[in-house]
Amino acid sequence: MNDRVPAPRLRQPDRLLLKAEAEPRPLIDAFQRRITYLRLSVTDRCDLRCTYCMPERMTFLPKKEVLSLEELHDLAAGFIARGVTKIRITGGEPLVRRDIVDLFAALGRRLGEGLEELTLTTNATQLAAHAEALARAGVRRVNVSLDTLDRARFAALTRRDLLPQVMEGIAAAAAAGLKVKLNAVALKGLNEDELPDLIAWGHARGHDVTLIEVMPLGDVEAERLDQYLPLDTVRARLAARWTLADLPDTTGGPARYVRVAETGGRLGFITPHTGNFCDGCNRLRVTATGQLYPCLGGGERVDLRAALRSADPDTALAAALDEALRIKPEKHTFRMDARGAAPALARHMSMTGG
């Protein structure tokens, strides 16, 4: 399947990593949840400024703090050695990172050798330029974040007038054979009137669509509760218009799916507030600086960069991963209801990736 993948141009791949363990232990946390999914952020930078994600004057990390592509690759290899079968590259916007396609090509060579799926979440502004290379690397599916189909609204929501490029990106991905799923954050007064059109548009093109409740992550200038639209409200409105049939498939993630009879498409709901989804959590998140956050909604953290750059990285990484499993909380504690948004974590979603 990967015979067309060019040799990775990353220097010194597989420098190390958990070779000390003849039989690497699977990643199982204190609540007996098995971790098979890594979301790896490769940059905190972005070419958009979505109003729910970051402020216009976002302070980005100094580049020297960010892991090199080689380090990201080694880290990912270490997770694969401990039983991770799915890796999602995220950010920030992963496609703004220079030479990121080299990382996809290098990781793509792991497909079929422990790694079962390599994918990414992108805003698609630069997807047209990269879709072919991603497909060649072995990427089969891509999540594209798209909250509106209206150009003026898109410009207001993202503070950048780039909807045409996003549309080109989505078309290029489909042309390259990538299965596209659309993710939309449901935003009160901003796109709520348009959600049925967005869903119908996606379904007409064969794209699954998933709606997400806004989460209180990082200071974004806007007032969170002003943006918050509970998905139980949205679902009730959609059910008045369409026939929604519950689907059993959960894809191991937090989304719950329905089939929309009228469009024939699949619609997901990610509801951190109106329906807790933590029981089956199978994932860990690592930031572009190598900070492992066992929970998107918690402050717990383990420094994998320090482990990676230590004198004995194998041992230090194994210990760091064990620590992450030990401290992974049972459930997130953020809240968004009539009492307000709490606790608003200082960390932006662009740090940990969506």
Positions touching ligand SAM (CB under 6 A) are 46, 52-53, 90-91, 93, 121-123, 145, 183, 185, 212, 214-215, 217, 349-350, 353-354
Diameter of the chain by CA atoms? 61
Nearer to ligand SAM, 317 or 352 (CB): 352
Residue carrying the six token digits 């791949």: 13
CB of 301 to ligand SF4, least distance (A): 20
Is 114 in a helix, a strand, or coil?
coil
CB contact at 8 A, 82 and 24: yes
CB of 3 to ligand SAM, least distance (A): 30
Would the CA dihedral through 198, 200, 204, 209 be positive or negative? positive
CB of 120 to ligand SAM, least distance (A): 8
Q: Which does 49 bind (CB under 5 to 8 A by kind): ligand SAM, ligand SF4, none?
A: ligand SF4
Q: Which does 90 bind (CB under 5 to 8 A by kind): ligand SAM, ligand SF4, none?
A: ligand SAM
What residues make contact with ligand SF4 under the rule CB under 6 A? 46, 48-50, 53-54, 91-93, 123, 145, 350
Other C-beta atoms closer than 10 Å to the C-beta of 186 total 24
Nearer to ligand SAM, 258 or 349 (CB): 349
Question: What strands, in cross-sheet order, belong to the sheet with 208-213?
Answer: 244-246, 256-260, 266-270, 208-213, 179-186, 141-145, 117-122, 86-90, 37-41, 283-286, 291-293, 302-303
Which tokens belong to 190? 């901003």
Nearer to ligand SAM, 46 or 286 (CB): 46
Nearer to ligand SAM, 229 or 307 (CB): 229
Q: Catalogue the E-assigned strands of 136-255.
A: 141-145, 179-186, 208-213, 244-246
Q: Which does 199 bind (CB under 5 to 8 A by kind): ligand SF4, ligand SAM, none?
A: none
Angle between helices 151-158 and 163-175 (to 10 degrees): 100
Q: Which residues pair with 119 in a beta bridge?
A: 88
- Respond yes or no on whether the N-terminal peptide bond of residue 343 is cis (omega within 30° of 0): yes
Nearer to ligand SF4, 163 or 318 (CB): 163
Nearer to ligand SAM, 36 or 90 (CB): 90
CB of 290 to ligand SF4, least distance (A): 19
CB of 253 to ligand SF4, least distance (A): 18
Q: Which does 217 bind (CB under 5 to 8 A by kind): ligand SAM, ligand SF4, none?
A: ligand SAM
